[in-house]
Amino acid sequence: MNLVGGVDIPSMVSIPQQWCGLSRLSHQLVLQLVVATVIVVATLMSTADAQSRVLVQRGKEIVVSYKPSRASSAVGAYALQHLRLPSDLRVRDVRSHGRVAVVSHAAGLSMASAAPVEVDEADVQRECARILDANRGVPLHCEANMVRFIKRTPNDPNLGELYGLTRMDAQSAWDVTTGSANVIVAVVDTGVYYNHTDLIGNIAVNHGEVPNNGVDDDANGYIDDYFGYDFFDQDGNPVDENGHGTHCAGIIGATGDNGSGVVGINWSVGILPVRVLGANGGGSDADVAAGIQFAVHRGASIISLSLGGATSSTVLENAIQYARDAGVLVVAAAGNESENNDIFPSYPASTPLQNIVAVAATDSSDALASFSNYGTSSVHVAAPGSRILSTYLANQFLNMSGTSMATPYVAGLAALMKSANPAMTYADLKYVLMASSDPVAELQDKVVANGRVNAYRAVVSAVSGVVAPPQTLEPATGQNDSIRKITISAKRYRRRTIIHGYVRSVSSEPLSNKSVLLSCKTISRRRTSSDEDGYYAFKVIRPRRAERCRVVDSLDNRSRSIVVR
């Protein structure tokens, strides 16, 4: 992923949105994969080359995942834990509470990682095809474990004034609220220098964990996650080695009214450090996705994502959807390529989910920053992002520029609104952020809100109870919903069998949220519902003797019967 603020780094290598196919790599390529690392080479390449090449890491070449709705039934997690693979592949790790499996070449697991290597997209597709073929019938998704990087414009060493807070009228907003430590904002980034004198008081520590004792005291699956968690190095110390995440954290919540340093848009807030990017600003999709889901489990209301890349990722989209289902707002940087995201999307900001707020950057004159991406339909709001002074490593302060800096301003403002009205949902926060923005002529037809966020108007709107209007429901699929086609099949996993299939309309469109009853002779009757793809699944203990099973919906539509062994 690309962080968005500080030093220019070329755009990420373009990755295909779905990697659903792959066969055996050549001998030479296998050797390359063994020594590959999860870094995107900062090399400018043609569009055609960028779309046909990808960099992978030894042990993290491929990620296989289930959609959140499927994983929530425990069937997805079970299938991933018992993933069938060709003999030369192995599951290196299962992350995100069983939703993502990282698949590696078995020969590379004991090898030390070395220089980055480019791999052809076709090779990745062939490998995925082998994996999907071995798990035929189970709706898995397979793709490259892509890297995301920080995307920065040049550092400005001169100290500047905090014009961003003035432009946003934060001073007036502070007359209403200065924030609350009960509102947790996850900074999913390079980590946070949490001992910074202007940040330490606002770090959301985990009081159920004893730091540095090597024990998972609160039994949440993460050892020593007192200050947060480091998914890049897989330990409980999310300390920043880059500076980018610390800078973003200070914009959200550098301690206010303490007589020193700077002040964030929140004087008081709960900052949750989640390290998913290394010292060079790069990290993999699997780590970012795991970081997002960790933030949800740690109670974050808002997630700040100042990172991005030119291509989409199902793993990331699933993680953001998981956050959406938990009611979490995700604020993401639009990118620093001076491009129109309506035409050239930047992910995860361009992910088409309701809980995403994509942010462009403005300068001290309220004009769109020269480096900032924009989009009439894909970028929601703008915020100050040019020459922003904030916290940095080793108790320092630094000016940085980028949509990375604009993003925590918006994430921090959402937290300020949440402190004024804790009942606000992610939809409420998103609506008010846009509706209360100051109209700016230079931003007309550049962002959805046609303006730059205004802290005072947003907080007053939050207090007065302005909320988002009811969301328009999508039309139901299937013209004749009373007549359905139900498929059924079974796949054995050791002592368990997964009985699964699809509920479709007469025109073969998927039907979601349809009740399905499993009916067998000795296996106990049980009921579930189809997900957004029309998919349903039951995990059962294999019967001692073969028996016939079928599924029936609430309208007495029936599947064929199958023999389950």
Question: Comparing 333 with 75, which gets the higher pLDDT?
Answer: 333
Rg of the chain, C-alpha, whole Å = 24
Specify the CATH architecture of the domain 163-195+244-284+295-464.
Answer: 3-Layer(aba) Sandwich (3.40)
Q: Looking at residue 564, what is its pLDDT?
A: 87
Residue ranges covered by each domain of the chain: 6-145, 163-195+244-284+295-464, 484-564
On the CB side of 234, how many CA atoms lie within 13 Å of its CA?
Answer: 6
Choose, from 73, 96, 123, 189, the residue flagged as catalytic.
189
Q: Which residues pair with 456 in a beta bridge?
A: none
Choose, from 378, 404, 530, 559, the residue flagged as catalytic.
404
Task: Tell me, yes or no, if 404 is annotated catalytic.
Answer: yes
Choose, from 141, 244, 380, 500, the residue flagged as catalytic.
244
pLDDT in tens, 505-562: 877 788 888 888 898 888 888 888 888 888 888 888 888 888 889 999 888 888 988 9
pLDDT at residue 281 is higher than 70: yes
Q: Looking at residue 1, what is its pLDDT?
A: 52
Cα separations in angstroms, 47 against 52, 118, 310:
9, 15, 11
pLDDT at residue 45 is higher than 70: no
Distance separating alpha carbons of residues 254 and 271, to the nearest angstrom: 10
Q: Where are the alpha helices (DSSP H) in 9-65?
A: 27-34, 47-52
Q: What is the pTM of this model?
A: 0.72
pLDDT in tens, 357-387: 999 999 999 999 999 999 999 999 999 999 9
* Residue 266 in tokens: 């929140």
Does residue 288 sit in helix, strand or coil?
helix
pLDDT in tens, 241-274: 999 999 999 999 999 888 888 999 999 999 999 9
Specify the CATH architecture of the domain 484-564.
Answer: Sandwich (2.60)
Cα angle 463, 186, 379 (rounded to 5 degrees) comes to 70
pLDDT at residue 56 is higher than 70: no
Going by C-alpha positions, the residue among 505, 495, 501 that lies closest to residue 517 is 501
Task: Tell me, yes or no, if 189 is annotated catalytic.
Answer: yes
